[in-house]
C-alpha cells in the first residue's frame, strides 16, 4: 500500500467493501488540525460538522492528544474486573462537572442511552414501586438517541425504524416542545421522560422557552425521572456546559457521549445521583471497554478543558456571530437575502432551512464542499453547522460567506432550469 490512492479509487474501494449505511460526501480526509481537515489530494476544508459535535475541542487538541499519548504508553485496558489508576479521577471529575454523585461509563452514545433506559426502568421497579414489566418511558417525536434495536423502536423516522421490528415495548411518543403532551402521557407506570434539550438530528430544533423548566416540574409532580440526552447538545456546544443550563434546569440523569471522547476514542456515560444510579448492582449492567484507562485519560482531559469555561464562552461569543451572520441570509435571493428560510440553534450550533426550490440540503453541502466547507444536511432542505469550538472568528465568517456564495450558485442554476 505504498502508492497514494486517489479520491475516486478510495471511494470505489470503500463502496465495494463496506455496507452502504451512510451516504458520505465525496471527500476522503487524510489529516486534520483544529477546525481544518485536509483530503488525500491536499485540498483543505473547514470542518463545520465536527464529527456531529464529537470534535468540540478541535482535531488534534494538544491537551487531549498529550493525555492519550501518555496513557497509550502505560496502560490501555484492564476491563472492569480490576480497578485502574485513571478511573477514580475521571469519574469524580465528570460527576462534579455534572453536579451529580456518580457516573456509569460506557463507550458509544447509544450504549449510554440504553444504560439510562435500564437504570430508569430499574429505578421504577425498585424505588417508585411500578409492577414488574409495566414501566413506560415518555419520549419525543423526531428524537434521535442512537441505532440499537430498543432505541430505534421509539424512533419516528421510518428510515431508522422500519424493517427492524419487532419493536421493544414500553415507550410513549409525544410531540416535542409541548409540556402538556408530556403531562397527558404520564401515567402511574411512567418512570422517565427522555428528551434532547435541543433536537440535533431533527434539524437543531430548540424547544419553546420555559419548556425544560416545565418538564422538570411535571417530572417532580409525578415522581418521574427527567433524563436529558445531552450527547450532542452538551459539553460546551450551546455556550453552556449543558443545554439544560440555559434554563437553569437540572435533569435527574445526564446522558453524555460524543465530545466526551475528545475526538479520539468513544467515551460515553450517564451521570446521576446515588438514589438513581445506586439501583445498578454488580453483574446487572456493564461493558468490557466502558471506563477503560485510555478512555478515562481522554475523558479526564475533556473534563479539565470544560472546567476552565473557555470553550463554553467561545461557543457563546462565536455563536452570536454565527447566528447574526446567518440571520442576514434569510430572505429571497437577490432581494436582500440568499434563499435561507429559517435559522435555528444556540451557541455554535445552527440548523439552516434552505428554500427547497434552490435544492436539497445535500446539494447545498456539495456546493459548500466545492468551496472548502464541510457540512451535513439533515432532512430535506436543512443543513446543520457545528464547527469545532476552536474555530476562529475569521474562519467562521469565511464559512458563512461561502454558504452565501453556494446558495447564490444554486439559485442561478434553479433559475436556468
Ligand atoms: C449521536 C447521538 C446519539 C448516539 O450516539 P452514538 O455514539 O452514535 O451511538 C444519541 N443521542 C444523541 C442526541 C446523539 O446526537
Instruction: Mark whether 144 is an active-site residue.
Output: yes
Q: Which residues line ligand 1 (CB under 6 A)?
A: 52, 108-110, 113, 144-146, 196, 200, 229, 231-232, 257-258
Point out the ligand 1 atom lying closest to the alpha carbon of residue 196.
Answer: 13
Catalytic residue among 57, 87, 90, 144: 144
Same domain, 66 and 45: no
| Ligand 1 center–CA 109 separation, angstroms | 4
| Ligand 1 center–CA 290 separation, angstroms | 16
Catalytic residue among 258, 289, 311, 353: 258
**Mean pLDDT estimate for the chain:** 97
CATH assignment of the domain containing 100: 3.40.640.10
For the entire predicted model, the pTM comes to 0.98
Same domain, 52 and 118: no
Same domain, 49 and 87: no
Q: Is residue 190 part of a domain?
A: yes
Domain that holds residue 321: 7-60+311-416
Out of 55, 147, 232, give the residue to mutate to test ligand 1, the one with the largest number of ligand atoms within 8 Å of its CB: 232
Out of 258, 260, 262, give the residue to mutate to test ligand 1, the one with the largest number of ligand atoms within 8 Å of its CB: 258
| Ligand 1 center–CA 245 separation, angstroms | 20
Catalytic residue among 39, 47, 229, 355: 229
| Ligand 1 center–CA 145 separation, angstroms | 5
Contact between 268 and 108 (Cβ < 8 Å): yes
| Ligand 1 center–CA 111 separation, angstroms | 9
Out of 114, 142, 144, give the residue to mutate to test ligand 1, the one with the largest number of ligand atoms within 8 Å of its CB: 144
What is the pLDDT, as a whole number, of residue 417? 67
Residue with grid cell 430548540, as numbered in its chain = 206
Segments of the chain with pLDDT less than 70: 1-4, 417
What is the pLDDT, as a whole number, of residue 2? 53
CATH assignment of the domain containing 324: 3.90.1150.10
Extended strands (E) in 178-264: 190-195, 225-229, 253-256
Same domain, 295 and 354: no
In sequence order, which residues have a C-beta less than 8 Å from that of residue 257 and are 6 or more positions away? 108, 109, 112, 231, 266, 267, 268, 269
* Ligand 1, atom 15: closest residue by C-alpha: 232
Helix (H, G, I), strand (E, B) or coil at 136: strand
Q: Which of 308, 330, 362 is the last residue of a domain?
A: 308
Q: Is residue 66 part of a domain?
A: yes
* Ligand 1, atom 11: closest residue by C-alpha: 145
Instruction: Mark whether 229 is an active-site residue.
Output: yes
Point out the ligand 1 atom lying closest to the alpha carbon of residue 148.
Answer: 9
Same domain, 214 and 153: yes
Instruction: Mark whether 289 is an active-site residue.
Output: no
Q: Is residue 215 part of a domain?
A: yes
Q: Is residue 37 part of a domain?
A: yes
Point out the ligand 1 atom lying closest to the alpha carbon of residue 232.
Answer: 15
| Ligand 1 center–CA 52 separation, angstroms | 9
| Ligand 1 center–CA 25 separation, angstroms | 20
Q: Which of 308, 331, 359 is the last residue of a domain?
A: 308
CB-count exposure of residue 267 (10 Å: 0-12, 13-18, 19+): buried
For 348-405, write each residue's pLDDT tens digit.
999 999 999 999 999 999 999 999 999 999 988 999 999 999 999 999 999 999 999 9
Q: 137 pairs with which residues across the strands?
A: 171, 192
Edge-first strand order for the sheet with 268-272 is 102-106, 268-272, 253-256, 225-229, 190-195, 136-140, 171-174
Point out the ligand 1 atom lying closest to the alpha carbon of residue 108.
Answer: 7
Q: Which of 266, 288, 308 is the last residue of a domain?
A: 308
DSSP for 203-215 reads TSBPPPTTHHHHH
Q: Is residue 200 part of a domain?
A: yes
Same domain, 281 and 294: yes
| Ligand 1 center–CA 228 separation, angstroms | 12
Same domain, 238 and 293: yes
Q: Is residue 1 part of a domain?
A: no
Same domain, 148 and 228: yes
Same domain, 274 and 347: no
Q: Is residue 149 part of a domain?
A: yes
Point out the ligand 1 atom lying closest to the alpha carbon of residue 268.
Answer: 7
**Number of domains present in the structure of the chain:** 2
Same domain, 88 and 180: yes
Q: Is residue 68 part of a domain?
A: yes
Same domain, 247 and 366: no
In sequence order, which residues have a C-beta less than 8 Å from that of residue 233 and are 6 or more positions away? 53, 196, 197, 198, 200, 242, 243, 349
* Ligand 1, atom 5: closest residue by C-alpha: 109
Same domain, 23 and 113: no
What is the pLDDT, as a whole number, of residue 20? 96
CA 40 – CA 38 distance, rounded (Å): 7
Contact between 372 and 410 (Cβ < 8 Å): no
Amino acid at each position: 500500500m505504498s502508492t497514494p490512492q486517489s479520491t475516486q479509487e478510495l471511494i470505489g474501494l470503500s463502496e465495494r467493501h463496506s455496507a452502504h449505511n451512510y451516504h458520505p460526501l465525496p471527500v476522503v480526509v487524510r489529516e486534520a488540525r483544529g477546525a481544518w481537515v485536509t483530503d488525500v489530494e491536499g485540498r483543505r476544508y473547514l470542518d463545520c460538522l465536527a464529527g456531529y459535535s464529537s470534535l468540540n475541542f478541535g482535531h488534534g487538541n494538544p491537551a487531549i492528544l498529550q493525555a492519550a499519548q501518555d496513557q497509550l504508553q502505560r496502560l490501555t485496558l484492564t476491563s472492569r474486573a480490576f480497578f485502574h489508576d485513571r478511573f477514580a479521577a475521571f469519574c469524580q471529575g465528570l460527576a462534579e462537572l455534572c453536579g451529580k454523585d456518580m457516573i456509569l461509563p460506557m463507550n458509544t452514545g447509544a450504549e449510554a442511552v440504553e444504560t439510562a433506559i435500564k437504570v430508569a426502568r430499574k429505578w421504577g421497579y425498585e424505588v417508585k414501586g411500578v409492577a414488574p414489566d409495566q414501566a413506560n418511558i415518555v419520549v419525543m417525536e423526531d428524537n434521535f438517541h442512537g441505532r440499537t434495536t430498543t432505541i430505534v423502536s421509539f424512533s419516528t423516522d421510518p428510515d431508522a425504524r422500519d424493517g427492524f421490528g419487532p419493536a421493544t415495548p414500553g415507550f410513549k411518543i409525544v410531540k416535542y416542545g409541548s409540556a402538556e403532551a408530556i403531562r397527558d402521557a404520564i401515567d402511574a407506570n411512567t418512570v422517565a421522560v427522555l428528551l434532547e434539550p435541543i433536537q440535533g438530528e431533527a434539524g437543531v430544533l430548540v424547544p419553546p422557552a420555559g419548556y425544560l423548566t416545565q418538564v422538570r416540574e411535571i417530572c417532580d409532580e409525578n415522581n418521574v425521572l427527567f433524563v436529558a440526552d445531552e450527547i450532542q447538545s452538551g459539553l460546551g456546544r450551546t455556550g453552556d456546559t449543558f443545554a439544560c443550563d440555559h434554563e437553569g434546569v437540572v435533569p435527574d440523569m445526564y446522558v453524555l457521549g460524543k465530545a466526551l471522547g475528545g475526538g479520539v476514542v468513544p467515551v460515553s456515560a450517564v451521570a446521576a445521583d446515588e438514589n438513581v444510579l445506586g439501583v445498578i448492582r454488580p453483574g446487572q449492567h456493564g461493558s468490557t471497554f466502558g471506563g477503560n484507562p485510555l478512555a478515562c485519560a481522554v475523558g479526564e482531559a475533556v473534563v479539565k478543558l470544560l472546567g476552565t469555561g473557555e470553550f463554553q464562552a467561545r461557543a457563546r461569543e462565536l455563536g452570536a456571530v454565527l447566528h447574526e451572520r446567518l440571520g442576514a441570509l434569510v430572505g429571497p435571493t437577490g432581494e436582500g437575502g440568499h434563499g435561507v428560510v429559517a435559522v435555528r440553534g444556540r451557541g455554535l450550533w445552527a440548523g439552516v432551512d434552505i428554500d427547497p426550490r434552490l435544492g436539497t440540503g445535500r446539494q447545498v453541502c456539495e456546493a459548500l464542499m466545492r468551496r472548502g466547507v464541510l457540512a451535513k444536511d439533515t432532512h430535506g432542505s436543512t443543513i446543520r453547522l457545528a464547527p469545532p469550538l476552536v474555530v476562529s472568528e475569521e474562519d467562521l465568517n469565511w464559512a458563512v460567506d461561502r454558504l452565501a456564495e453556494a446558495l447564490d450558485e444554486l439559485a442561478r442554476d434553479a433559475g436556468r432550469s
